[in-house]
A and B are shown apart, each in its own frame.
Chain A
C-alpha cells in the first residue's frame, strides 16, 4: 500500500480495465498511476476512446477495475460493498454528465435537493441551500421549472447545483460542455472555477474542450489507456 497523505484525495495504482466486447478484449485503461490532491481543478484530456470516461467510472466506483487499486479519501474502493460505494458517492462525490443529468419529472428545486434527500437533510435546510445555490448560479426563480423547459446551459447549471449542494469533496464532470455553445460553456466553467476557489471542492474533468483545458490548473493526457503527459500549469 502506497503512502497516502492527508491531502491525497484520489490515488490509483496500476489501474487497469479490460472490456470484453463480444469476445474481443479491449484494454481501455492500462496500468494508470495517478494522484489527485484536494482542491485541484484538473482536466483529463485525450481523444475519443483514450479511456477518459472509463477512468472516471473507475475512480468513482461506478465500475470495477480488472486489476489495480483505487483509494478515495484513504478508502480502498475494492474493499467497499455495493451499498458502501453507493453511500460513499452520495456523501463525497458529485457528478456532472454531458447530458441528461436531470430527472425529467422533477422540478429544478426537486432535482437539486435530490442528493440531500438521500442524505437525510431536513426540509428546511434543503430549501435554504437550494435557494442559495440557485441564486449563485443565476437560476433564481427557476425553482419550479421542469428540465424540459430549460436550455442546455441551464440544465447543466442545475446539474452543478445538485452536485455542489450536497457538499461533496470531489466533483467529476464528464464532457460537461460538449452539448453547449462556447459562450454558455465558458460561463459554466467560470462558475465552476469560482466554486472551486471558494469552497475548495476538487474538480476533475474529462474532456477535449479547449475552454476547459485553458482553465484547468493541471492537465493529464491519456493516450491508448496510459498517461501520456501530466503538467501543472502556473
Chain B
C-alpha cells in the first residue's frame, strides 16, 4: 500500500544521518560483493586465457594413457583420419600437431634438461602465443631445418645468443638409442612463464620426428575452438567422437584439474567470508531498526490504540527495512562500480605469479557482469528485509498500553 511506502521512506529520512550511516555499512557489504565477484571472474578469465592461449590450447588430443607417463612411443592413433576430421570440424578454429620428448641440451658453458617440442610453425602461430613472445630473432620464419627457438631464461643459463649452436640429445623411441643433433638458435622468446622460458626447446616437427625415430607420428594435437566456451562443456559430442580408437580428447578443465579446483575453492572461501561479513551487517541492520523503533515507542502505541492491526505494524517495519535496503543498494552500487571501475582501468599486477600451475601473464582486471548489479542487490534486498523481520515481529507483539507507558 502506498501508505506503508510513504511512512517507510519518510521515517527513514527522519534521521538522515543514522539512515545514511547504516546504509553505508550495508552498501559497503554489497560493494565488496560486487568487487570480489568481478575480480574472481577477471581472475578466472585471465588464468584460463593465460593457460590456454600461451601454449596449451583449449583442448588436446593424445593417445589414451600418454598423459600419465609421457611415453615417447604413445603416439596418436589414426593420425591422418584425426587430422582430416579436424580440418572439417566446424567448431574447431585452429589445431596444431606436436611432438615431445625429454632432452638434454648442451652449450659450451652449460648443460640443462629441457622438453624438446617439435612443432609446425605455420599451424602453431595461430594457436599459441610463443611466436608473439619472440623478441630476438624470429619464430621459424626462415627455412633452416636446424632452427631452434628457446626461452630467454634458458638462453641465459646456457649463455647463448642468436646464431649460437647447441646440441640436443634424446633417446629414440623403441630402441632407446641416444640421438644427438646440432641446432642453431634462431629465435629467443620471453613468455613470462618460468617453466616455458626455462625448460622448453622448440624445433621443426620433422626434425623432432627424425631425431626420435617417429616417422610421421605425433604425440599431441592442441585445439582452439571457434568459441572458447566449448572447452568447458562437458557434454560436447566432440570429446567423444575424437576419443575413439584408443585416443583421448579432453578440454582444459581436465588438463588442468588444479585450476578448476582452485576456482571452486576460491568461490567457496569467498562465500564463507561473505556469509560472516553479512552476519556482521545483519547486526547493524537490526540495531538500526531497533533504534528507530525505540524512539517512536509512544507513536507506535498511538497507532495501535487508534486501531492499527499488529500485522500492519510489522509490515510498517518491514517496509522500513525495505527502504533502508533500497538506500543501501543505491550506495553500494555506486561504491562498487566506482572501485571496480577504477580497477578495470588500473588492473592488478600479478604478472609472473604462479597459482595452481598457471602463471599470470597479463594484468588482472575485474570484469563487470550483469549478475553483480541484478542478483547481488536483490540478495542484499531480500536479506535486509528478512533481517528486518526480527524488529518487525517485536513491533507487532507490543501491547499499546506498554508502548505508551515506556516513554512517560
Contacts and interface: CB of A to CB of B under 8 A. Distances in A.
User: A and B: direct contact (Cβ < 8 Å)?
Assistant: yes
Interface of A: 57, 60, 62-63, 82-83, 86-91, 93-95, 97, 100-101, 103-106, 110, 114-115, 117-118, 162
A94 B298 contact: no
A160 to B, nearest CB: 13
Contacts of B302: 95, 97, 100-101, 103
B20 to A, nearest CB: 17
A57 B302 CA distance: 12
Contacts of B262: none
Nearest to B397: A82
Interface in B1-15: 3, 6-7, 10-11, 13-14
A90 B306 contact: yes
B306 A115 contact: yes
Nearest to A114: B306
Interface string B380-408: 00000000000000000001110010000
Interface in B289-313: 298-299, 302-312
A106 B306 contact: no
Contacts of A105: 7, 10-11, 13-14
Interface centre among B307, B308, B312, B404 (most CB of A within 10 A): B307
A91 to B, nearest CB: 7
Nearest to B9: A105
A130 to B, nearest CB: 15
B367 to A, nearest CB: 43
A11 B282 CA distance: 49
A17 B308 CA distance: 24
Nearest to B8: A105
Nearest to A119: B307
Interface in B326-385: none
Nearest to B298: A100
Nearest to B301: A62
Contacts of B303: 103
Contact of A95 (B3, B10, B305, B309): B305
Nearest to B1: A117
Interface string B1-40: 0010011001101100000000000000000000000000
Contacts of B400: 57, 62-63
B309 A83 contact: yes
Interface residues of B, number: 24
Nearest to B313: A86
6 contacts: A86-B308, A97-B302, A105-B10, A105-B11, A105-B14, A106-B6
A209 B6 CA distance: 37
Given A91-B307, A115-B307, A118-B307, A103 B299 contact: yes
Nearest 10 Cβ contacts at the A-B interface = A90-B307, A105-B10, A63-B401, A89-B307, A62-B400, A62-B401, A57-B401, A86-B309, A95-B305, A100-B298
User: Which of A62, A88, A90 is the most central at the interface, judged by chain B CB atoms within 10 Å of its CB?
Assistant: A62
Given A82-B310, A86-B310, A117-B3, A62 B11 contact: no
A114 B308 CA distance: 10
A140 to B, nearest CB: 24
Contacts of A88: 307
Contact of B404 (A89, A97, A114): A97
Contacts of B307: 86-91, 93, 115, 118
Contacts of A117: 3
A95 B404 CA distance: 13
Given A83-B311, A86-B310, A103-B7, 10 more contacts: A83-B309, A89-B307, A90-B308, A101-B302, A104-B14, A105-B7, A105-B14, A106-B10, A118-B306, A118-B308
A118 to B, nearest CB: 6
Nearest to A19: B405
A154 to B, nearest CB: 17
Contacts of A110: 6
Given A100-B299, A104-B14, A89 B399 contact: no
Interface string B150-178: 00000000000000000000000000000
A89 B305 contact: yes
A90 B404 CA distance: 18
A124 to B, nearest CB: 16
Contacts of A57: 400-401
A95 B306 contact: yes
A156 B166 CA distance: 102
A87 B312 CA distance: 12
Contacts of B299: 100, 103-104
A97 B400 CA distance: 13
B399 A162 contact: no
Contacts of A115: 306-307
Nearest to B14: A105
Contacts of A89: 305-307
